């Protein structure tokens, strides 16, 4: 436990260091990443994307400022790629497995895999899973086995919104 001084008396920290939220799991940072994704995929302005993600342009610049550049008109533009750390829960053979990636393309692949799994579970058509056969994200092999997917789905262990590890809807934390 750590202690801190306050007006001459010593107070105990309310939470041990192991329970404190890591910077990469900060909800404000995750919203900033969502703004960056909107700017890249939909071409929205910083202000517009920030409003739709319920945050402010100032907060976005605080967390991902290096991923934004000023265009000739003064408007903020998203860079084409980044090396930001993302803690993901990737759907592998044993369910959601923790993975750390430093590439937006890897995060996008994990997200597309979850969308494809959801489409497979709704339609039963394995064509959605074929592009992900043999692919890995953060060292975790993506689950494409229809039988295993059905077992996990029947146990209610497949959640579409479980990509980011601090999301309470899905993935396990380690």
pLDDT tens-digit map of 119-165: 999 999 999 999 999 999 999 999 999 999 999 999 988 887 767 76
Q: What is the pTM of this model?
A: 0.65
Residue 57 has pLDDT above 60, yes or no: yes
pLDDT (0 to 100) of residue 37: 87
pLDDT (0 to 100) of residue 24: 56
pLDDT (0 to 100) of residue 38: 92
Mean pLDDT of 29-46: 92
Closest CA to 171 of 92, 88, 96, 93: 96
Q: Read off the tokens for 21.
A: 């939220």
Q: Which residues, other chains included, contact 20 with Cβ-Cβ below 8 Å and sequence gap of 6+?
A: none
Mean pLDDT of 27-50: 92
């Amino acid at each position: 436990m750590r202690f801190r001084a306050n007006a001459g008396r010593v107070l105990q920290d309310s939470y041990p260091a192991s329970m404190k939220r890591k910077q990469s799991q900060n909800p404000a940072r995750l919203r900033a990443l969502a703004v960056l994704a909107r700017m890249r995929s939909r071409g929205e302005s910083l202000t517009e994307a920030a409003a739709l993600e319920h945050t402010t342009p100032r907060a976005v610049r605080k967390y991902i400022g290096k991923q934004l550049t000023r265009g000739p008109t003064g408007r903020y533009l998203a860079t084409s790629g980044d090396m930001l750390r993302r803690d993901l829960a990737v759907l592998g053979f044993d369910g959601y497995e923790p993975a750390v990636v430093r590439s937006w393309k890897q995060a996008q692949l994990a997200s597309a895999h979850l969308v494809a799994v959801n489409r497979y579970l709704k339609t039963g058509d394995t064509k959605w899973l074929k592009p992900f056969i043999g692919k890995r994200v953060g060292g975790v092999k993506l689950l494409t086995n229809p039988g295993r997917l059905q077992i996990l789905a029947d146990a209610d262990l497949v959640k579409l919104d479980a990509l980011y590890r601090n999301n309470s809807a899905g993935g396990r934390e380690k």
